[in-house]
Structure 1
């Protein structure tokens, strides 16, 4: 793995609230990519640089309001805890997070999927002094705009047969394509691998069942193609930051009128 190097990022216990000049051009570039969140953080997890997309999705107006803040100051608790845990893992281990598939839930039962990547920043001595990341919104598989003729029926099949032992190879066969060509096509259309596409479909179905039915978690796991309860729980928590039981409890609390974390923007926001 190659890492971004930035000797100007402060590695001490104090931190400036602006990024080194080298990040200015990159930040400006990402200001023109509205479906992608961009950020740079110091060793303490505070924002040094961000694009306007993240600012707006946090419900803020200017970058100055976000710079120098930690995720706990700008995101609802459940999201902040997940983002902070990701940051700490990268900063502590020096290992990157690459294209992690994540599902986010927001007021009025809206969902948003994204792929998150976080890379450690190292100084001239190789010490981790911060991180840089992006989080990209994903096109929904159910969005049929401009889908190749070979792909549309495969997606329709997946939407109704996700409980079965579906595999990237079996989907490629249904599309009449080689596994390699099918994977490239899915990646181009959705920025997902076929494995991630299958996981997204199953987790989205599971979240709907958790929200709208009283089925047992184990039964939902089987109904959504997870033949191991613990595997379902791990996958669900990785994507949402909550176990299935916690997720269902949060939805019930919201339905009963219990206080919930405030919304932080008009659109789904991915990792920050």
Structure 2
């Protein structure tokens, strides 16, 4: 290890420092890069100001991605963290879609690493996320998927189908399927269903609409079909979700 002024190595110098006095305080001052730490179960332990202000939509310590992001995107983030915890391998410079506080969806470059305890066991993960530099435009397939994701969320009440998405985007169905699987880990049909359920969750929690009205507003033509889809994804019925969410306020 190279020594510097005074004959100390960098390791020797940092070992003598009081823990925590530099890193987290400075990370809070970085305006454009989101930083977070999570435990093994995906609960936030630390969020810097940039993450909280830009991405979180009200994140707090102890919450998970499922609490603050749409279910289909949260599922992708959680899969990454589980892989890191299981293998100890970092994920570096991954392009991923992120839900912004404004409700918009944006491509970010994300790096995630394992965090070890004093016994060298993985106790969680940490990550940073930054907006892609506009000097280096996104490849066309990334732009196209980002635009499609926003289009789906804005039109969940319409008659969306894989063929209509392919026509809207100018892709073949096989290309559409391949890009959704690559970037989002699901099929276009599965993503549409998840987006509709995400919209339904918001309406169940924050509106006075009855379940039949919510079913229609989120693109389900039959109440029974809505209930089956909701229960399959959320593992509870719409009425139970509504009662649970409101009782926790």
- What residue is the counterpart of 1:183 in the other structure? none
Checking the alignment, whether the CA contact within 8 Å between 1:45 and 1:87 is kept in structure 2 is yes
**In 2: Cα distance, 1:235 partner to 1:122 partner:** 30
- What residue is the counterpart of 1:247 in the other structure? 191
Match of 1:199 among 123, 138, 141: 141
CA change 1:199–1:125 in 2 (3 A) is farther
- Once superposed, what is the RMSD of the aligned Cα atoms? 3.9
**In 2: Cα distance, 1:208 partner to 1:235 partner:** 17
For the residue of structure 1 that corresponds to 2:124, the secondary structure is strand
User: How far has the Cα of 1:66 moved from its partner?
Assistant: 2.5
CA change 1:23–1:117 in 2 (3 A) is farther
Q: Does 1:93 align with 2:87?
A: yes
Give CA deviations for 1:27-84 in whole Å, capped at 9, x if unaligned: 2222222222101223333333220122334344xxxx83344434444544433332
CA change 1:78–1:232 in 2 (3 A) is closer
Q: Does 1:232 align with 2:229?
A: no
**In 2: Cα distance, 1:109 partner to 1:74 partner:** 11
Report how many residues are paired: 182
CA change 1:122–1:258 in 2 (3 A) is closer
User: How far has the Cα of 1:117 moved from its partner?
Assistant: 0.9
User: How far has the Cα of 1:104 moved from its partner?
Assistant: 3.6
Match of 1:112 among 102, 106, 109: 106
Gaps of 5+ in 1: 1-20, 142-188, 264-272
**In 1: Cα distance, 2:173 partner to 2:29 partner:** 39
Match of 1:26 among 23, 29, 52: 23
User: How far has the Cα of 1:94 moved from its partner?
Assistant: 0.8
For the residue of structure 2 that corresponds to 1:102, the secondary structure is strand
Decide which structure has the larger Cα Rg and report it: 2
Matches within 5 A, 1:55-204: 55-56=52-53, 57-60=55-58, 66-104=60-98, 110-123=104-117, 125-139=119-133, 189-190=135-136, 197-204=139-146
CA change 1:109–1:59 in 2 (3 A) is closer
User: How far has the Cα of 1:134 moved from its partner?
Assistant: 0.6
**In 2: Cα distance, 1:93 partner to 1:36 partner:** 26
Give the structure-1-normalised TM-score: 0.51
Which structure ranks higher in relative contact order (CA pairs < 8 Å, sequence separation ≥ 6)? 1
CA change 1:74–1:229 in 2 (3 A) is closer
Give CA deviations for 1:164-196 in whole Å, capped at 9, x if unaligned: xxxxxxxxxxxxxxxxxxxxxxxxx24x7xxx6
- What residue is the counterpart of 2:33 in the other structure? 36
Checking the alignment, whether the CA contact within 8 Å between 1:206 and 1:224 is kept in structure 2 is no
Give the structure-2-normalised TM-score: 0.55
